[in-house]
Structure formats: C-alpha cells, structure tokens
C-alpha cells in the first residue's frame, strides 16, 4: 500500500513538472524563503527558481523540514495536489483552475446536466471578492432552505472562502446524496447559518412561457451541454402555440459552453453574420460567423442584468451588433474571456484562459460589459428576489412594451 502511495506521489510530481512547463513562460520568478526553523535546527536554504530544477530543490527542502518536524501525518497526494493548485492560483486569474480527479468528475457530470448538490447558481463578486448567489434553482434544496438571490456565501462547513476561491467552495458544497452541508450566509448585514441537504439536481436550461398578445418568452438559465437543442425545442413548442414575437431572458445567466451560445445565435442571425471575434495571446484573430439561414425570423428583445456573463454576453453582443434584437435591462457582467478545459492522464483537469473575445463590432467586453439599448432597473426591493411577479418586473414589462412596437 505504501509503495502504491509513493508511486502515485511520484506520478503527481511528474504532472506538476508538466504543468510547470506549460505555463513557465508567464512565470518569471517565484519568491523563495530563507527560513531558519526552531533555533537553526532545520535550515530551508534559499534556492534560485529561475529553472525547474530550482523549484524541485526548494520543494524537496520543504519536504525534509516537514518530515523532521511536522507532528501530523503527511498525505503525499494531497500535498502535491495542493502545490499544483497553489501554483495555478499564483497566476492571479480567477478563471484558470486546476481540478483534482474528483473535482473534474463532478464538473463533467454537472456540465452534462446533473450533479449532486444543493441547487444554486453562484458567481464571483469581483468588487467584494465574495461568492454571490445569483439565485437558487426552482424546487431545489437551497430554495427550500430559504437561500435567496443576493446572499453571499462566507463559510462552507466552517471553512471561510473568498470570491477568488469560488471553485473550491463550489466543490465543498457538493457531496454525497443525502448528506448535509452547513453554510454561513451574509444577507445585508445579517449573518445566517443554514444546513442544506444535498440531492441529485437535474438541470434544465430553458423555461418557456407564452405571454399575452402572442409573445413568446424563453428564459435561458445557463449554457451548459444541450442548451441549444433545448432552446430550439422550446421555441418550436411556442411557435406551434402561435407566437409572433420573442423575448429572450439571460438575466442572472453566468454563462457556460461557448458553442451552445454560438448555436443559438446561429438560429437568429443571417448566414454569414459575425457572431464573435476571439484573440489569443499572440493577437491571432478568429472570426466566428453564422453558418445557416435563421430559423427564428420574428422580432426579438433580449433581457440582461449585471449577472449576465460570459456565454450570455456572446449571445447579447451578437444580436445587438447585428441589429437583430433590442437589449433591455442593465449592463452585463463583463467576462469576455474564454477557457479551454483539458483532462490530464490521471483524470485531473486544467482549465486555462486562452482567449479574449469581443463583439462583432469589435467592442471589448472583459471587465467592461455590454450596455443595453434601453436601460431599465428593477425596483430596489425586488433586485435580490428569486421570484419576481410578472406585473412587478419592470424590465420584463419594458421588454413587452418594446416588442409590441416591432
């Protein structure tokens, strides 16, 4: 058993070196400590880390100190995983992330449309470096426990998390079905503790509704796998009910898979219209255009707010710049970067920010967002409400007013 653990540790060490090679071009110096522990009994020597050999030597010095002095048990696998995570976090990019095998399995399951958890949409609140709850899912354990839109998660099972640690907090919230997780929530100035049961969450991407005056309404909750197919299916269902105009709602939609947003844009734009423009680190540019004639030709209004992000902004930018839809609501979040997810040989994963994108008119999105054509705010007392009555939803009512004139 011990030999197996050592073999796994050696393999993890190799993977650390491989990942180091991948991103060493953007790492110039690592600060290394010159520490004397316990009155000089153990010396951790200062090492130059301008090379991989220096990094390995430094880690080996730390390991020697731990073996000689640390009173607890040393788990090699956890140590190496922690080292890799810390190395990637050193980039300072909240979207570039290392996933352990277990975390990668959970991510793949969630992206495919189901996972075990409590059922919340969360995002990074950059301004406050906090974990912001966009909203609980309908009928989810989170909704049943009283979690609300606008709540901030400060602790998970007694462990504090900042916004930059969103992925770690998300993984801590997930777990085995039937178990519970304790959350510390900040709601305004009030701190609330809630215990929430984990259950299997079956994700649906689209909520459809037929409004008065033959207006169709499609709420896109995320852009995970299968979203575009579900969007087409729900639209055709509304079309069979006789709708003549369409409102698309991406408020509180934090994004998902870029290709799903591109597919939906393709359903609405003329063949050859530009959907988005991406640039990599070498400023090489790629232009994505609509491949097909549109299947949706009726007038469209799209609803946005400050938590419409990433893939949502791709769709909004494409429709706005091609003058295919009127954008109503508030300015979007401003996440204009794209990540690539790679699965490594041991089952772990690395998500890397590889491109920045802009709208068809070459408007930058990242850290800026997209301004609506018509700005409308919700009433202040409803901003963080998970379920806003239709007649009190000022943004939706404005969208209905606008589309009636089309």
Strands 300-304 and 326-329: parallel
d(CA 137, CA 104): 22
SS3 340: strand
Phi, psi of 74 (to 5 degrees): -105, 120
Active-site residue, 321 included? yes
What is the helix, strand, coil percentage profile of the chain, to 5?
35, 30, 40
Catalytic residue among 106, 222, 321, 393: 321
Strands 180-187 and 215-220: unpaired
According to DSSP, the residues that pair with 355 across neighbouring strands are: 338
What count of other Cβ atoms lies within 10 Å of the Cβ of residue 320? 23
Q: List all residues 6 or more positions away from 265 whose beta carbon is below 8 Å from its beta carbon.
A: 275, 290, 314, 315, 318, 319
d(CA 397, CA 72): 61
Name the DSSP letter for residue 26.
Answer: G
Active-site residue, 310 included? yes
Catalytic residue among 290, 310, 312, 348: 310
Catalytic residue among 174, 335, 351, 398: 335
Tally of helices (H runs) and strands (E runs) in the chain: 10, 21
Catalytic residue ranges = 310, 321, 335
């Amino acid at each position: 058993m011990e030999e197996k653990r050592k073999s796994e540790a050696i393999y993890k060490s190799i993977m650390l070196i491989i990942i180091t090679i991948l991103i060493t071009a953007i790492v110039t110096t690592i600060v290394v400590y010159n520490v004397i522990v316990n009155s000089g009994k153990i010396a951790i020597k200062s090492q130059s880390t301008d090379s991989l050999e220096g990094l390995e030597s430094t880690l080996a010095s730390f390991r020697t100190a731990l073996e000689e002095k640390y009173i607890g048990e040393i788990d090699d696998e956890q140590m190496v995983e922690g080292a890799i995570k810390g190395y990637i976090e050193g980039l300072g990019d909240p979207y570039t992330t290392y996933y352990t095998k277990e975390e990668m399995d959970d991510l793949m399951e969630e992206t495919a449309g189901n996972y075990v958890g409590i059922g919340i949409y969360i995002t990074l609140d950059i301004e406050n470096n906090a974990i912001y709850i966009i909203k609980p899912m309908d009928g989810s354990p989170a909704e049943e426990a009283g979690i609300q839109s606008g709540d901030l998660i400060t602790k998970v099972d007694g462990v504090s998390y900042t916004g930059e640690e969103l992925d770690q907090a998300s993984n801590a919230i997930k777990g085995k079905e039937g178990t519970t997780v304790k959350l510390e929530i900040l709601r305004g100035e009030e701190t609330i503790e809630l215990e929430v049961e984990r259950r299997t969450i079956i994700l649906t991407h689209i909520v459809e509704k037929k409004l008065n005056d033959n207006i169709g309404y499609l709420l896109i909750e995320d852009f995970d796998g299968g979203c575009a197919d579900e969007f087409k299916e729900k639209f055709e269902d509304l079309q069979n009910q006789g709708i003549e105009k369409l409102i698309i709602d991406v408020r509180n939609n934090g994004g998902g898979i870029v290709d799903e947003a591109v597919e939906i844009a393709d359903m609405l734009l003329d063949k050859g219209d530009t959907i988005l423009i991406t640039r990599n680190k070498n400023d090489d540019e790629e232009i994505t255009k609509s491949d097909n004639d549109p299947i949706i030709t009726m007038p469209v209004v799209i609803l946005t707010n400050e938590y419409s992000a990433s893939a949502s902004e791709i769709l909004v930018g494409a429709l706005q710049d091609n003058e295919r839809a009127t954008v109503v609501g508030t300015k979007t979040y401003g996440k204009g970067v794209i990540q690539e997810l790679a699965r490594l040989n041991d089952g772990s994963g690395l998500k890397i920010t590889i491109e920045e994108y802009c709208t068809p008119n070459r408007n930058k999105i990242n850290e800026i967002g997209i301004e609506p054509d018509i700005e409308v705010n919700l009433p202040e007392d409803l901003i963080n409400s998970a379920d806003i009555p239709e007649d009190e939803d000022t943004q939706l009512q404005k969208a209905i007013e606008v589309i009636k004139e089309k």
